[in-house]
Structure 1
Amino acid sequence: MSEIEAITLPTARPNPFDPPDGLAELRASAPITRLAYPDGHLGWLVTSHALVREVLADRRFSARSELRHVPIESTSPGRPSPPGMFIGMDPPEQTRYRHLLTGEFTVRRMRLLAERIEEITEHRLDLMERQGPPADLVEAFAAPVPAVVICELLGVPGEERADFMAEAAALGRPDATQEQKISTFLSMQARMRDLVVAKRAEPTDDMLSGLTRSDLTDEELANIGFMLLGAGLDTTANMLALGTFALLRHPGQLAILREEPGRVDQVVEELLRYLTIIPFLVRTALEDVELGGELVRASETVTISTPAANRDPDRFPDPDALDLRRDTSGHVGFGHGVHQCLGQQLARVEMRAGYPALFRRFPSLRLAVEPEQVPLRTDMLIYGVHSLPVTWDGQG
């Protein structure tokens, strides 16, 4: 065991598509290193693919929200997750909720949803075409598609969707005060609770109605619905937008998407690996654990750099290149282990529909501004672009 000087989490990005500066050097020289947290906690940062997967698969590392420290400035102190918010829980509590939801997110169900998702995608592209160039791809396409999909899955009535989406977006703003976050959360929770009551009274063909047949309480259902709504919006929206930006900046790779439609699955997986929009995950040791030659003591938080893991040359040859023909198996874009993203199949279906349809409808699609003028979400918890100004020739 060695004494290591603590660092702070690198956040400055050298370009829009690469992980923050310094992570590659850390991965090569010290794949587990001491990390100083803003609240004074002294924990760890892991950056190698092997160690990241090791931590995420080890039940001795807890996801409980009340135990963790976050590596960025936060006004939210650690507290237990409310009933239903299983993302911040460990088994067996987490297992109970996850088991109930697994049946709603099966590969089979997502395949059945594919036709509807394609309809939503084409509708948004119709609107974008009628509006004409230029357009903000985030506002016109990337954000509305997953928003409509998740609202339909939850059975949110059409007249209420705009309010649901606005409040979900507000919760993701890191500059919001604790009072604003609490106010928005309570409002969102009240909306979801009203929706749950409505679904219990008159079930429809949606996920929330299906879950009312379980033993979950209204509070649990409302929190699950709120969590799914928030998770289903920002992540896929930013992958659609940032992925489009990356493809436009790599025309040789874009040609593969256009000319080899059978590779769409590989396209999606490589973009997930290459871009990795979730900058970190955190786990806390429940007992002393030896990890990568260092002793992680009980109660110490480990920050997991998923972008660094997905650019590890020991796992992915030439990792800093976007290669839509590569084997991306083992990437951690959706995490790993018992907390691996439950909605990953839904996100995949939306991206498999979105990228090909966009470039088929608008073969001359291009940036409407210089690349350095695209506003990046370096101020947000989920990385991406705030907007993506694009244009095209004629009617596409």
Structure 2
Amino acid sequence: MSFNIDTIRADFPILQREVNGKPLVYLDNAATSQKPQIVIDAIVDYYSNYNANIHRGVHALSQEATDKYEEARQKIQHHFNVGKAHEIIFTSGTTHGINLVAHGFSSLLNANDEVIVSALEHHSNIVPWQMLCEKTGAVLKVIPMTQEGALDMAAYNTLLSSKTKLVFVNQISNALGTINPIQDIIEAAHKVDAAVLIDGAQACAHIKSDLQALDVDFYVTSAHKMCGPTGVGVLYGKEKWLNKLPPYQGGGEMIAEVTFEKTTYADLPHKFEAGTPNICGGIAFGTAIDYLNKIGFHAIATYEHELLTYATAQLLQIEGLTIYGTSSDKTSVISFNLKGIHPYDVGTILDKLGIAVRTGHHCAQPIMNFYNIPGTVRASFAFYNTKEEVDLLVSGVRRAQQMLT
């Protein structure tokens, strides 16, 4: 598929609507991406034509739904180059996957073991590890960040030791757009026999990751960040690690045999998939992956980099505007503030102009504390955005500045 922005935008029905009498300019893609018609159709098709619970059903609808659901698992397996389909666990999203692993490690950690996270993490990537450390007596260590919004890799290497059992880092910062050097992080952690979990929620729409090449132990992401539905995601885990972790939830599907004396658990992946899953969500996730791969991740990355470069240059022409997160390696996210103006006020005026951005601390308060700011205005771009929309953003920011000063 050749990259034709007009054709691509036509795939997304929501981009045709107006907000406050203005054409919608959707620049909140880091929070959630919009959905192409083909994904919406996959959801409608499931509920219209073969809605049934999956696995074990002998009737035709159940078998059809099961086949579609497991085909989606295989699509995800191949997309991320995972060795075995049963190493892909369906979850409700990235947060679910993180908590599943944190719960599992509560039986593997001892007092004074160490867990490392980074200063660039989303709250979902901080709180579960704090809870884990409180429960086990393990110690939480933090990789510091630089003024540019990058990780201090020299400091990271000094934190690693024989006490390190788990390292957790996001692939891309949701607040700043920084792309972290996860290959180096993984390799260094493995030298001290630590496991690594990578949060790919912000990366999956921009980067096609090869999990076998990365040699990562765990990887989590959400479908809604990559043009799929909300309420579904995946946890990848190496088979050896998934076999070590106890089940996260008890219920149907995840059992082999139940008596009142003892329960034995099902094999992977069902051991971690208790209850009726988000069946149509999983199927539509597979459809979204097909759609993105048809466009091509190289084409997506090239186009989004052009948008990022253009938007950065245009915004920096506004006097009193500061961009936070200036690492040389970043994706299409720009967090900024206008001097003397609260980001919420800027976002409110932009909304009146039909421009959707995110304001606040972006569930990354430690980053905001580092810069000593209450939050930022965050414009996050996707492959269906345009330079004309960037121009509208810049014009809107200038108007907000004029109105609020």
Query: Between Structure 1 and Structure 2, which shows a larger proportion of strand residues?
Result: 2
Query: Between Structure 1 and Structure 2, which shows a larger proportion of helix residues?
Result: 1
Higher Rg: 2
Task: Say yes or no: TM over 0.5.
Answer: no
